[in-house]
Structure 1
């Protein structure tokens, strides 16, 4: 049975989501909504659905909508998420929100609590681990091939350099020092948490290059983030927003090493390599030959199809709320980490412990 969907926010990402739904056998896109009439009308014509210009009108005229997909943006790509998500939840609808979950951490906490109170699904587009390489890597972890976590290294950002730089003109970006942190760190932090578990300690050394300073750019664009996981492993995340070109591994790489083996995912969707820590491996010099699984693609956009389909699967199957993949609590966790990064930066690189997540209560319909 298909899931009836309405999308609110029909700029670039909203149209990408709509295109994914039109391909998905579980999706029935019935309406689109945008306060900019031209956007809503263009999307409605393109996808053959009804256009609305207020979320209230869409929800009251399309009462059989089951899922509201919030793809609005705003300051730091997230300041227009909270209100439509809260409104849709208030109508009893399941909600999928683009990342970051919210622009403000207090709003994010309130949103997650409200979804739990209303007993609806709240998901977030944490799409970077809805890939074939991530699935294979998770099998290594679950099968015990990695062993006890030793370290996790992540490198995610954008290629660039000063010759490619231009001062952002959009008011959603210009003048906001934490745009890169809030708009992007959700992705690498969510992938690290997915594989390695909760993060308990964060310390950052962040800055910007001279060409940004000369242009009057306030964005803190270079982030060197040190992490400690609840299971005792350590981590490091390097993320920068087009201040340099990345070397080995490209714009996206994640390496997780444990006492029994190590995997590395390259380019998110491209391939995963696995090195086994066998008895007698050479300590230095002689390279260990990895097992490489190459999926023969660099098409990152398919991660949207994969993630949206997973959300529809979970809604259709009525999974327990805490088993919803990439749920609101997961998105809140990585936003708490992001705000801990900001706090550490503002304190000159001090160690910060992220704000604790709300306790899991469990669903009596599923827990015996």
Structure 2
């Protein structure tokens, strides 16, 4: 049996607790530390998961010597700590969004390339059971040629300092998912509104064109609620069929053109794992650790975070200039 991998978590927020939960429960991992800025909060989190608290990244690296570090910090402060960890040559799994600035994204990727560092990003929607089944159906040609695709997602806001937080830190999942299922997006045309919070664009609608010739749309909102039914919906429509994914993990429906019968997947009575959104991250972690052990590239490389940011910047430019932007 392979020796347990030593893994540390940087960040003590709510989603950081999911990092610690996953790692602390694995038999092939030793959770060797949690790093936070607040000593009391960090000590409490470390005690909860029976590991060591640190308030300094370098101290943690020197004492714990982790094989992998996961980074879950406030969305707009990713750059400095991530760059520092890359400069120390540590394999990383970082939360989305990668950063809010393309030059910073390029600097991180260049540092990782220069040092040959494993550099993954947690775009965990890809690991939902309906998404994986949808991807398999598309790849098998069940939908024929894709003609259009839609993404709609939104709920309560997570305001930061960026006027485009909804787009860059939340709809990153949609931008990544549409390309994951339908191939590269070639151009975008956007509308946004700040009617509920002047200066902050809480809702946006984007018309998309894919390199394949297909078209699509993305609607993302902080003016909605996660309590509403159909908080998140994906539709992909092809020449031979259609699929719909509801609430990421809830249900996949596959239809054949001209046939009123449908095939539906949803988690069965004993399959709680597949219906739990947080467990999509457990599945991604399985793939991350397997790739790291095998000396392979990450299953979702950080460059995918850079690509989503590039698309977001094109969307911002489209809105500001009132034109379609090639990406």
Alignment TM-score, normalising by the size of structure 2: 0.92
Structure 1 ranges of 4+ moved more than 3 A = 243-247
- The number of equivalent residue pairs is 320
SS in 1 for 2:147: strand
- Report if aligned partners of 1:103, 1:182 keep a CA contact under 8 Å in 2: yes
Deviation string, structure 1 residues 165-200 (Cα, Å, up to 9, x no partner)? xxx8xxx83553212112211111111111111111
**CA distance in 2 between partners of 1:174 and 1:124 (Å):** 21
Match of 2:313 among 339, 347, 352: 339
Alignment of 1:178 onto 2:178: no
Alignment of 1:310 onto 2:287: yes
Match of 2:26 among 24, 27, 32: 24
Match of 1:124 among 121, 134, 159: 121
Q: Which residue of 2 aligns with 1:274?
A: 254
Q: Which residue of 1 aligns with 2:194?
A: 208
Alignment TM-score, normalising by the size of structure 1: 0.82
Q: Which residue of 1 aligns with 2:61?
A: 59
Q: Which residue of 2 aligns with 1:359?
A: none
5+ residue gaps, structure 1? 161-167, 282-286, 355-368
Give the deviation of 1:244 after TM superposition: 6.7
5+ residue gaps, structure 2? none
Q: Which residue of 1 aligns with 2:175?
A: 189
Deviation string, structure 1 residues 224-268 (Cα, Å, up to 9, x no partner)? 011111222111011111347897x70111111122221111110
**CA distance in 2 between partners of 1:258 and 1:4 (Å):** 45
**CA distance in 1 between partners of 2:79 and 2:172 (Å):** 16
Q: Which residue of 2 aligns with 1:69?
A: 70
Q: Which residue of 1 aligns with 2:267?
A: 295
- Report if aligned partners of 2:235, 2:242 keep a CA contact under 8 Å in 1: yes
**CA distance in 2 between partners of 1:276 and 1:259 (Å):** 9
**CA distance in 2 between partners of 1:138 and 1:234 (Å):** 18
Q: Which residue of 2 aligns with 1:82?
A: 79
